[in-house]
Amino acid sequence: MRNKLFDTFDEAVADIPDGASIMFSGFAGPGTPRNLIAALHRQGAKEIHAISNTPGRWGDSSLVDLSLLVQSRRVAKVSAAFTAATHPSAKLPFTELYEAGEIDAELMPQGTLAERIRAAGAGIAGFYTAAGVGTEIADGKEVRNFDGRDYLLELPLPADYAFIHAHTADDLGNLQYRLTQRNFGPIMARAAKVTIVELDEPIVLSGDIDPDAVHTPGIFVDRMIVIPADATKEVKNQR
Amino acid sequence: MTNKKPIDRQAMANRIAMEFQDGWVVNLGIGIPTLCSNFVHPDKEIVYQAENGVVNYGPMAVDGEEDLWLVNAGGQYVLPQPGMATMDHSDSFALIRAGYVDVTVLGAYEVAANGDFANWRVTGRKGGGIGGAMDLAVSAKNVYVIMDHTTRDGQARLVERCALPLTAVGVVKLIATNLGLIEVTLSGFVLKEIAPDYSPEEVQALTGAPLAIAPGLREFQVAS
């Protein structure tokens, strides 16, 4: 049996090449893989295609998130449900680079983002959704009418890697998340070729997690690292 | 300067919350809509749902009692309560698209007389923040909007047709603004309730489309 447990975050991201597509879990804090992002920043991979709910820096947080890679020009493209802050007066670090044309973006409804990721990890070639009908999001997309209602064809969104933050795991990689930490974790774990997980709690032995209580089966998990107790505040689960 | 008092944010949110029916599943957008959860329903059970994968969450957490793993769609810490359930993002949006949400309350930049609305990109900006608004707007049984009646420089936000890029087509049913409560009907905007210091003519003058006056026009209702 392959050992999925890595000692350091640096080893876990060492092989990621320039140009890789990477999914980042997380929604407004919970689930954000801060330690993996910090490690990839140290590693130096460039031209990343980042797939994430936002391009990072939600609010005034000083915590590590995707904006670290964006600001250091490691990201070529972002696929997300936000390319601007929700309040027009607030600016994300991403915004300046995007408006200057130095970074590309694909903006989509959040449910469409989630379902495209789900489809990629579920062997589904495409799906129809009503989200975005009659808006700019529909531009260039097939519109099909089912039972009198229009829907847009949306295609799967796979990735080379997924960075996920979960709460507990056993040695086979069976994962549990805590509360709203779960968000994109389970669907990204299935949609990526290589799934790398940072964990709040030490690994338990297989058998210690009730099979009925597994959120992400270990078959979808390739690498795991436990967040060390002495992790700095920039990479801890806090805001 | 006028000494007229427009309706404040919490009162706008309370007025919309007064429309929630017993047992409704309610999704609140970022900003003023999150204030709806401060309204206490003495004899109704409201099920709050947030698109980041939680149903039946409790009130906002105060300092010191936050659970770092539990936030609402605005990223604010909320409290767990008995009966709460969490799920992943695809299950959360499955629930939304399949129509389990009775009402979504959203902020907006513009609402048109035909029920179109725009809330994700402002003029002159390249990016936008769609979030879950497009999925919610086409799926929830009711779409209510809370917003100021005009922009800061006095431009109407209730308009004949939206100039900004649309979030969804023909879905908004009810709008609470700082000047009143407006229903969106097949024949356009209808003023149902009005801020205490304002006349219908004054509200019409600040509205970018015809505003019919409801036969039973009354003062803006505040929670008792």
Chain A: closest CA distance from residue B139 (Å): 8
Superfamily the domain A9-109+164-233 falls into: Glutaconate Coenzyme A-transferase (3.40.1080.10)
Residues of B numbered 164-193 whose beta carbons fall under 8 angstroms of chain A's beta carbons: which are they? 165-169
- Asked if A134 and B71 come within 8 Å (Cβ–Cβ), the reply is no
Chain A: closest CA distance from residue B69 (Å): 5
* pLDDT for residue A90: 76
- Among the residue ranges A61-65, A157-161, A181-185, B190-194, the one predicted with the least confidence is A61-65
> Could you tell me the residue ranges of all domains in chain A?
9-109+164-233
What string of DSSP letters covers chain A?
A: ----B-S-HHHHHTTPPTT-EEEE--SSSTT--HHHHHHHHHHT--SEEEE-SSSS--TT--S--HHHHHHTT-EEEEEESBSS-SSTT---HHHHHHHTTSSEEEE--HHHHHHHHHHHTTT---EEE-TTTTSGGGTTS-EEEETTEEEEEE----EEEEEEEESEEBTT--EE--GGG-TTHHHHHHHEEEEEEEESS--B-TTSS-GGG-SB-GGG--EEEEPPTT--GGGSS--
pLDDT interval class at B224 (50, 70, 90): low
* Average pLDDT of the residues in A63-92: 90
Residue B48 lies in a domain: no
* pLDDT for residue A239: 45
- Asked if B75 and A58 come within 8 Å (Cβ–Cβ), the reply is yes
Q: Which residue of B has its CA nearest to A151?
A: B138
List of chain B residues whose C-beta atoms are within 8 Å of the C-beta of residue A177: 86
* Average pLDDT of the residues in A52-61: 78
Residue B197 lies in a domain: yes
Domain span holding position B116 = 9-36+86-218
List of chain B residues whose C-beta atoms are within 8 Å of the C-beta of residue A30: 52, 68-71
pLDDT interval class at B212 (50, 70, 90): very high
pLDDT interval class at A85 (50, 70, 90): confident
Chain B: closest CA distance from residue A232 (Å): 16
Q: How many CB pairs under 8 A join A and B?
A: 155
- Asked if A28 and B131 come within 8 Å (Cβ–Cβ), the reply is no
In this model, does residue A161 exceed pLDDT 90? yes
Residue B223 lies in a domain: no
* CATH value at residue B22: 3.40.1080.10
Contacts of residue A10, Cβ cutoff 8 Å, sequence gap at least 6: A39, A42, A43
- Among the residue ranges A96-110, B1-15, B102-116, B205-219, the one predicted with the least confidence is B1-15
Please answer whether residues B180 and B195 qualify as being in contact, where contact means their C-beta atoms are separated by less than 8 angstroms.
yes
pLDDT digits (tens, 9 = 90+) for A92-151: 889 889 999 999 999 999 999 999 999 999 999 999 999 999 999 999 999 999 999 999
pLDDT digits (tens, 9 = 90+) for A165-195: 999 999 999 999 999 999 999 999 999 999 9
* Average pLDDT of the residues in A223-233: 92
Structure token digits, residue B58: 């409790």
* pLDDT for residue B1: 45
* pLDDT for residue B2: 59
Between CA A161 and CA A13 the distance in angstroms is 10
In this model, does residue A87 exceed pLDDT 80? no
- Asked if B53 and A180 come within 8 Å (Cβ–Cβ), the reply is yes
* Minimal Cβ distance to B93: which of A114, A135, A136: A114
Q: Which residue of B has its CA nearest to A133?
A: B168
Number of residues assigned to chain B: 224
* pLDDT for residue A238: 56
List of chain A residues whose C-beta atoms are within 8 Å of the C-beta of residue B89: 27, 110, 114, 183-184, 187
* pLDDT for residue A58: 59
Residue B54 lies in a domain: no
* Average pLDDT of the residues in B45-62: 95
Tally of CA atoms within 13 A in the half-sphere of A1 that contains its CB: 9
pLDDT interval class at A236 (50, 70, 90): confident
Residue B58 lies in a domain: no
CB of B134 within 8 Å of any CB in chain A?
A: yes
Residue B69 lies in a domain: no
* pLDDT for residue B123: 84
**ipTM value for the complex:** 0.95
List of chain B residues whose C-beta atoms are within 8 Å of the C-beta of residue A86: 30-31, 129, 131
Residue B76 lies in a domain: no
Q: How many domains does chain B have?
A: 1
**What is the overall mean pLDDT for chain A?**
94
List of chain A residues whose C-beta atoms are within 8 Å of the C-beta of residue B125: 84, 88, 99
Residue B23 lies in a domain: yes
